[in-house]
Structure 1
Amino acid sequence: MTDAAPDPAPSARALLREANYLRFWGTRWLGSFSTQIQSVALGWQMYALARETRSVAESALMVGLIGLVTFIPVLLLTLPAGEAADRYDRRKIVVWCLGLEILIVGALAAATFTDSMTPGFLLVAAALFGACRAFFNPANTALGPMLVPRSLLPRAIAWNSLAWQSASIAGPAAAGLIIANSVGAAYLTSLGLYAGAAILALLIRANTRPEVNAGSRWQLMKEGLAYVWRQKIVFGAISLDMFAVLLGGATALLPVFARDVLHVGPEGFGILRAGPAIGATIMAVWLAANPIRRRAGLYMFGGVAVFGLATIVFGLSKSLWLSVAALAVLGGADMVSVYVRQTLVQLVTPDHMRGRVASVSSVFIGASNELGEFESGLVARFLGPVGAAVFGGVGALAVTGLWARLFPDLRRADRLE
């Protein structure tokens, strides 16, 4: 490999000329916005119901249970979901999953408005939502690269992350304002956004059915697992993200911090939830205009290390605005890691295997996010919310050092080309 300057990346304007990709991007943004509102409402409502009869520590554990029951279906369904994304029309899978999510939030709204909501109902809804996401994530992840030329893929990945992160700013902030008046209205808002996402997905006019390899379903599922295991850069990247975020998932405790640590109520809760996405969106905009060209592996490890440090600052903060600033830094650092991971995985994975590889990746991501919520709630049960956040940040730093040693090829990864 020479040190010659790489060819200029295609202009971002070229991406804007891809009409089907723009519809996909709109689907992703609306779906992400809806998911954020639904997630905030689930966590807030669970904590409020639990606090009627339980202590702060016990209620924090109940919030963590939402993450656990969301992750279990993802774990159980990941292999068939990935195989389905590599066998069937990916756009249709996305539409069906969005339709089922509309039914879930409709049921949540009905139970809330009729005053029949219980913690058990919330956990069942979270489990059903996890089952939908088990199929949605690999199909959606594998769909995007089908809609753009390969030369535009790094920019498209940055814009995909921008869709998620910008929705993650607006979603929690909007949810906090809506929940302050009505949790049921938050679920109805989520329903409308899911419907808009489904309509845009239906408008995509492209061949979104992958070429299917010969072999039984079980053989194809095993092939996907074997591929991830053999590609050490892929395995190292997704496992680094999993363990770092699993241990450092302090954002799962935001309902606890908002109500009983910082005492800022639902409005402050929405601001806190938007904090990581503010930093991540700023970073995503920067990366979309200035893609990482060299030393990608070092950028990834640096991002995870900063993520851990910012988590510690957040845990120790007693000020709303210092907490928001720490969360913003945390989100920006995580965005760097996510950008490098997603680009590496997409570039080295052939299209006919993207669904299966994405499904394996979604298990790791689910473990880091949903299972991380349970881990944070469980640790908070014994160390309290502040202790749990600090513990998670220290754990993320330890994982960074260990993975840098275990995966030298990932550390030395250079160009995202």
Structure 2
Amino acid sequence: MAFWFARVFTASGFQMLTVAIGWHMYSLTGSVLDLGLVGLVEFMPKILFILFTGHVADRFDRRRVAAICQAAQGLVALALLLGSSTGTVTREMIFVIAFLLGSARAFEMPTTQALLPNIVPAGLFPKAVAAAASAMQSATIVAPAIGGLLYALGAGWVYGPSVVLYALALSLMLSLPSRQRPLKQKVSMESLLAGFRFIRSRADIFGAISMDMFAVLLGGATALLPVFAKDILLTGPWGLGLLRSAPAVGALLMSFWLARFPIERKVGPVMFTAVAIFGVATIGFGLSTSLWFSLATLVVLGAADMISMVIRGAFVQLQTPDEMRGRVGAVNGLFIGASNQLGEFRAGVTAAWIGTVPAVVAGGVGAIVITGLWVKLFPTLAHRDRMHEAPVP
């Protein structure tokens, strides 16, 4: 439970920060391109530190590494609190903050992913992935809505509670038991690149994470939610909070279902169908002019994405030896970051070029096209029956 609550608190802090930073930037500049640039800057550390993040997770105590990352994110929230209280937050400061936030999360993601298999047995791992995902989605439902409401009172009302949430997450993470087998191999280029080689040598793993990357890279519209809230759906910060929460509602409901009824057969066809539904829901959201219909499409989108995430996350971890999970998780995190943060940059640039609605609709079409292409490129993944076909090494 300590791990579950630690994930809830850190996810809540991040979601509240994301809502506040997005609205803060759009209020300062009114530029959709700047919203995309925030996502790009946050993604850059995943590329810059990719060779080190996974190695750190495998070589050092994962609990302590995660706690340090959460402390760093708490300091970022504290800096924004002080800046907003003195009126010194600028466009440039937000970019610096986004880079620091991205750096901390670049190390935190592979560390916490690799930590979960040390806590639960392999037989229960698919259910544990769904349960851990439900923690994230619970936070993603409540935190953005709270963040949007608090921002209406002032930016400091969002940043202050974020500091407290990160402090709570830090203390819970340090209370977890340690069952890790630390990496004893010396640091070398071979050890640093081991995660890339491992993923590339497993066609199904490579196909799953690359399909998710390209589908969300093209179909993601998170960075444009402030534009939809303010200019298309004619709502305010509270509406933005609801929009950011809606995908998590669908994801949370689906995670509860998957924790109770895990997918054990036909995992490949189920995952491909879920990605296609993600694309269709994205198109529906892009064409909507109703807040309530937009929320409904985002709920469907979130549920479909959760199915894909749980299947991908479970069999990647189950097929990876413990001493390599950090490095493999770092590469997986790079793919996820490319789909999310780089996808936000893609959305901002495309919206500035062809308009907000066409950019989202085109992205949804792109996600559907990617699904069809990956059926041809990775036929064994498309027809995969079980989550794991061999014992964990």
Q: How high is the TM-score relative to the length of structure 1?
A: 0.92
1:118 paired to 2:90 = yes
Tell me the secondary structure at the aligned position of residue 136 of structure 1.
helix
Picking from 28, 43, 68, the partner of 1:49 is 28
* Equivalent residues of 2:218, 2:363 under 8 A apart: yes
Contact 1:34 1:193 in 2 (8 A): yes
How many aligned positions are there? 388
Q: In the alignment, what sits opposite 1:14?
A: none
Q: Map residues 267-286 of structure 1 onto 2, 5 A cutoff.
A: 267-286=238-257
> 1:30 and 2:1 equivalent?
no
Output the aligned Cα RMSD: 0.9
Matched residues in 2 for 1:77 and 1:152: separation? 32
**Deviates further, 222-231 or 358-367:** 222-231
2:162 equivalent to 1:190: yes
Q: Distance in 2 between matches of 1:330 and 1:101?
A: 28
Give structure 1 regions of 4+ aligned residues with deviation exceeding 4 angstroms.
none
CA contact 1:83–1:217 (8 Å) conserved in 2: no
How far off is 1:251 after superposition? 1.9
AA aligned opposite 2:129: I
The partner residue of 1:70 within 32, 37, 42 is: 42
Q: In the TM superposition, what are the counterparts of 1:129-140 in structure 2 within 5 Å?
A: 129-140=101-112
Indicate yes or no: 2:57 matched with 1:85: yes
Instruction: Tell me how far apart the structure 1 counterparts of residues 340 and 286 of structure 2 sit (CA, whole Å).
Output: 18
- The whole-number CA distance in structure 2 between the counterparts of 1:269 and 1:279 is 17
Q: Report the AA paired with residue 37 of structure 2.
A: L
Q: How much has 1:245 moved relative to structure 2? A: 0.3
SS in 2 for 1:156: helix
Per the TM alignment, residue 290 of structure 1 is displaced from its structure 2 partner at its CA by 0.3
| Alignment partners' CA distance in 2, 1:279 and 1:202 | 31
Q: Does 1:380 align with 2:359?
A: no
Supply the distance in 1 between the matched residues of 2:182 and 2:170 (Cα, whole angstroms): 24
Give the gaps of 5 or more residues in structure 1.
1-21, 52-58
Q: Does 1:146 align with 2:125?
A: no
* In structure 2, distance between residues paired with 1:225 and 1:382: 34
Match of 2:326 in 1: 355
- Contact 2:213–2:335 under 8 Å retained in 1: yes
Aligned to 2:78: 106
Mapped contact 2:216–2:367 kept (Cα < 8 A): yes
* Residue 213 of structure 1, CA deviation: 4.6
Corresponding residue number in structure 1 for 2:298? 327
- Say whether residues 1:393 and 2:364 are aligned partners: yes
| Residues 44-97 of structure 1: CA deviation (Å, up to 9, x unaligned) | 10001012xxxxxxx111111110000011111012111111111111100111
CA contact (8 A) 1:213 1:352 kept: no
Measure, in 1, the Cα distance between the counterparts of 2:243 and 2:262.
Answer: 28
Partner of 1:212: 183
Aligned to 1:247: 218
CA distance in 1, matches of 2:182, 2:101: 29
Q: How does 1:275-354 map to 2 (within 5 A)?
A: 275-354=246-325
Distance in structure 2 (CA, Å) of the matches to 1:332 and 1:398: 20
3-state SS of 1:86 partner: helix
Q: Is the contact between residue 60 and residue 182 of structure 2 (CA under 8 Å) also seen in structure 1?
A: no
Q: Once the 2 structures are TM-superposed, how far is the Cα of residue 217 of structure 1 from its aligned partner?
A: 3.2
Amino acid across the alignment from 2:80: L
Residues 6-34 of structure 1: CA distance to partner in whole angstroms, max 9, x if unpaired?
Answer: xxxxxxxxxxxxxxxx2111111111111
The equivalent residue for 1:7 is: none
Report how far residue 396 of structure 1 moved. Answer: 0.4
Deviation at 1:206, TM superposition (A): 2.6
Q: 1 CA distance for matches of 2:177 and 2:197?
A: 33
Kindly, what percent of the aligned residue pairs are identical?
A: 48
Aligned amino acid, residue 224 of structure 2 = L
1:368 paired with 2:339, answer yes
Residue 162 (structure 2) pairs with residue 203 (structure 1): no
Superposition deviation, residue 216 in structure 1? 3.2
| Aligned-partner Cα distance in 2 for 1:285–1:387 | 34
CA contact (8 A) 2:63 2:178 kept: no
Determine the structure 1 residue equivalent to 2:391. none
Corresponding residue for residue 201 of structure 2: 230
Aligned residue number for residue 128 of structure 1: 100
Confirm or deny: 8 A CA contact 2:61 2:182 kept in the other structure.
Answer: no
Q: Does structure 2 retain, via aligned residues, the 8 Å contact 1:137–1:358?
A: yes
Residue type at the aligned position of 1:259: K
What amino acid maps onto 2:125 in structure 1? L
- Residues of 2 paired with 1:150 and 1:361: CA distance? 20
